[in-house]
A and B are shown apart, each in its own frame.
Chain A
Amino acid sequence: MRPRSGLLIQDTIQSGSRRTFNMAETHSLQDMRQQAAIASKVFVQRDYSTGTTCQFQMKFLPELENRIDKQQFEETVRTLNNLYAEAEKIGGKSYLEGCLACLTAYTIFLCMETHYEKVLKKIAKYIQEQNDKIYAPRGMLITDPIERGLRVIEITIYEDRIGGNGR
């Protein structure tokens, strides 16, 4: 086996899949009774084809093939993209907010939150709802991209109990 760059953990686990790797996190090993062990994490990367606005790629990752419908996944990503586009929308309302903020020397943001922050709250709620309804029953969890610096949508895949210990 060719020596792998990066983390040594990949050395000890059989090579095979390109993107996924098994990393039994130490703390969850101690906690396995309460929480399922993490089998792998997949990352939906950013899509920069429209510029610097926050959009994620709609590419369906192979690791999710057995877990979820392609349409379901694409629907989730599409909704997230639309929400982010709404947050960053440049229009009359955002200009008004910007000018008002400038005139009040930005003290207005001590009282009210920006449009972007409001939409981020909406996104957090949407992700929570998707996790509860769709992803958790299938043994997955979506992490809010804001916790990863809006770089990726991290989907944590948990191992199924019937399958036994980690791979």
Chain B
Amino acid sequence: MLPGGGGPMKDCEYSQIITRSSSTMESAHTSNTPRRKWEVFPGRNKFFCNGRIIMARQTGVFYFTLVLIVVTSGLFFAFDCPYLAVHITPAVPVIGGILFFFVMGTLLRTSFSDPGVLPRATAHEAADLESQIDVANGSSSVGYRPPPRTKEVTINGQSVKLKYCFTCKIFRPPRASHCSLCDNCVERFDHHCPWVGNCVGKRNYRFFYMFILSLSFLTIFIFAFVIAHVIHRSHQTGFLNALKDSPASVLEAVVCFFSVWSIVGLSGFHTYLISSNQTTNEDIKGSWSTKRGKENYNPYSHGNIVSNCCVALCGPIPPSLIDRRGFIQPDAPQSVAPSNGITMYGATQSHSNMAAATPLLQTDPHLASDEPPLPGKISLSAPCAPLPLGQPTPPSSTPNLSCDTTLSDMLPTREEQGGPHFLTPEEAPSPLGMLSSGSSLTHSHTMHVFNLASQDSLHEDSVRGLVKLSSV
């Protein structure tokens, strides 16, 4: 609705807006202890030290990495270094120590920092985008399946497709990708590394690279000097006695021998990626490979290897966009819950009611974690929804049937696995799948066939939200 009645600019008095924020709205639930934003973060992350540290949910492998590095290095310093310092040079433990601290520093920095998570769209933004997309698609008749949401952009002469993220409700910037393990869109997404217990993205890629580089040096260093130690000792006491005298060396040698291939290989791979300014994601998909077309080139490359390396390693680090330690403003817009049925193309009236109910119901329990929905949010959305709240149950009709058939559809398309340096980022789920899954709110039990935790917790939360709202 255009303000001003659609004429030339009237010289009517616009109310002076108070530019300093005056949040007089006191929510009874948050007035006593202002909560920090990390406590209501919608992604699947763990936070420590009051929001200073952010990690992925599964950190078991990270602890294993830590233990492996610390124990191996500890054994080296305890058993091999005394001998080496005396018989070869005292520089050995010094250099080893420096390398060790560098490895630990970069590892912790990679694991604990925000990889470049994109915050989810607020409700207003999402609705604005929705209306734009609807206009772009034109009017659609019942049963017409629109194409997946993409936007074409030309970057430095190369055509790039921006995909719409159904979870975060945004068009992903170029090079961003959605990590299904952390349930976040990450800028310049490289991969999700379980060894460091975090995604590797724009903000922590250089730390990751320095970690694997220094770890390769450390591994080779320890391996070489352990061998040197054993050989030196065996000159004096014989090989078997040497092994008996320092059994730790055997363990270290074994660990280093098996690690060195993968770590050094990985360093080499990432050196190649940095020099060509690609992400692991793009390399695996072959986005800029000439096999796709003669005219295909990487639009982000700066032309030569040196520039690419400098930019990747010494360029500016952008600040974190998610403001973990900020306090939640009572009148701040809430981000929208990930939708599984928010888009209904040419749906019938009952379906549209259902789908319309879905985002509102889901706005309350928008946390994908196990936190209960904040009561404050319900009061925010309930008055906005003039829909009969006594109608939370979906119509038990055809959608159920189509839901089952599209379950198998959803399963491969929603997978976006980020294994250690191996991943297959996928397209957004097809809208038909979305259509059916939206009307299956209370059929969350059927969704449990997925072993995707995001689906489960999402629907559990939405069911919980249903129950909460119906009791309001």
The listed residue (A20, A41, A94) touching B314 by CB distance below 8 A is A94
**Is A7 in contact with B123, judged by CB distance below 8 angstroms?**
yes
Note all chain A residues with C-beta closer than 8 A to B134: 4-5
CA distance A25 to B310 in the complex (A): 48
Choose, from B148-156, B190-198, B222-230, the stretch at the interface. Answer: B148-156
**Is A52 in contact with B9, judged by CB distance below 8 angstroms?**
no
Q: Which of B85-106 contact A (CB under 8 A)?
A: 102, 105
| Residue interface bits B354-373, CB-to-A below 8 A is 1, else 0 | 01110110000000000000
**Is A63 in contact with B14, judged by CB distance below 8 angstroms?**
no
Choose, from B53-61, B63-71, B341-349, the stretch at the interface. Answer: B341-349
**Is A17 in contact with B132, judged by CB distance below 8 angstroms?**
no
B3 proximal to A (CB < 8 A): yes
Note all chain B residues with C-beta closer than 8 A to A125: none
Note all chain A residues with C-beta closer than 8 A to B25: 27, 30-31
Note all chain A residues with C-beta closer than 8 A to B1: 13-14, 16-17, 20, 22, 39-40, 167
**Is A128 in contact with B19, judged by CB distance below 8 angstroms?**
yes
B399 proximal to A (CB < 8 A): no
**Is A5 in contact with B344, judged by CB distance below 8 angstroms?**
yes
**Is A154 in contact with B314, judged by CB distance below 8 angstroms?**
no
Note all chain A residues with C-beta closer than 8 A to B330: 27
B441 proximal to A (CB < 8 A): no
- Would A116 and B319 be within 8 Å (CB), given that A4-B134, A154-B124 are in contact? yes
**Is A99 in contact with B314, judged by CB distance below 8 angstroms?**
yes
**Is B124 in contact with A23, judged by CB distance below 8 angstroms?**
yes
- Would A48 and B173 be within 8 Å (CB), given that A27-B331, A114-B316 are in contact? yes
- The count of chain A contact residues (Cβ–Cβ below 8 Å) is 89
Note all chain A residues with C-beta closer than 8 A to B173: 46, 48, 52
The listed residue (B3, B4, B359) touching A7 by CB distance below 8 A is B359
| Residue interface bits A148-161, CB-to-B below 8 A is 1, else 0 | 11111010011111
**Is B130 in contact with A5, judged by CB distance below 8 angstroms?**
yes
B383 proximal to A (CB < 8 A): yes
**Is A50 in contact with B156, judged by CB distance below 8 angstroms?**
yes
B42 proximal to A (CB < 8 A): no
Shortest distance between the CB of B341 and any CB in chain A (Å)? 10
Among residues of B, the one whose C-beta sits closest to the C-beta of A99 is B314
- Would A3 and B349 be within 8 Å (CB), given that A36-B17, A160-B3 are in contact? yes
A80 proximal to B (CB < 8 A): no
Among residues of B, the one whose C-beta sits closest to the C-beta of A150 is B321
| Residue interface bits B202-238, CB-to-A below 8 A is 1, else 0 | 0000000010000000000000000000000000000
B174 proximal to A (CB < 8 A): yes
Among residues of B, the one whose C-beta sits closest to the C-beta of A20 is B1
**Number of A-B contacts defined by CB within 8 Å:** 234
B175 proximal to A (CB < 8 A): yes
A35 proximal to B (CB < 8 A): yes
Among residues of B, the one whose C-beta sits closest to the C-beta of A48 is B153
CA distance A89 to B311 in the complex (A): 10
A59 proximal to B (CB < 8 A): no
Counting chain A CB atoms within 10 Å of each CB, the highest count among B19, B105, B132, B357 belongs to B19
Choose, from B76-84, B114-122, B288-296, the stretch at the interface. Answer: B114-122
Choose, from B258-266, B384-392, B418-426, the stretch at the interface. Answer: B384-392
B380 proximal to A (CB < 8 A): yes
**Is A160 in contact with B12, judged by CB distance below 8 angstroms?**
yes
How big is the B interface, by class?
Answer: 35 or more
Note all chain A residues with C-beta closer than 8 A to B342: 5-6
| Residue interface bits B131-154, CB-to-A below 8 A is 1, else 0 | 110110001000000000000011
- Would A160 and B322 be within 8 Å (CB), given that A90-B315, A128-B19 are in contact? no
**Is B316 in contact with A18, judged by CB distance below 8 angstroms?**
no
Shortest distance between the CB of B247 and any CB in chain A (Å)? 34
Shortest distance between the CB of B159 and any CB in chain A (Å)? 11
**Is A67 in contact with B321, judged by CB distance below 8 angstroms?**
no
**Is B356 in contact with A94, judged by CB distance below 8 angstroms?**
no
B313 proximal to A (CB < 8 A): yes
CA distance A94 to B316 in the complex (A): 6
The listed residue (B6, B299, B300) touching A66 by CB distance below 8 A is B6
Note all chain B residues with C-beta closer than 8 A to A147: 323
Note all chain B residues with C-beta closer than 8 A to A71: none
**Is B131 in contact with A18, judged by CB distance below 8 angstroms?**
yes
Note all chain A residues with C-beta closer than 8 A to B355: 5
**Is A41 in contact with B380, judged by CB distance below 8 angstroms?**
no
Note all chain B residues with C-beta closer than 8 A to A62: 2
16 further A-B pairs in the complex, CB-CB below 8 A; given A2-B139, A5-B342, A9-B385: A3-B351, A6-B359, A7-B127, A8-B386, A11-B356, A12-B386, A14-B1, A17-B2, A19-B131, A40-B3, A41-B124, A66-B7, A90-B310, A98-B313, A152-B125, A167-B1
* Interface positions of A (Cβ within 8 A of B): 2-14, 16-23, 25-28, 30-31, 34-36, 39-43, 46, 48-52, 62-63, 65-67, 87-90, 94-95, 97-99, 102, 105-106, 114-117, 120, 128, 131-132, 135-141, 146-152, 154, 157-163, 167
Closest 8 CB pairs of A and B: A139-B14, A98-B314, A3-B352, A8-B356, A167-B1, A6-B130, A149-B119, A66-B4
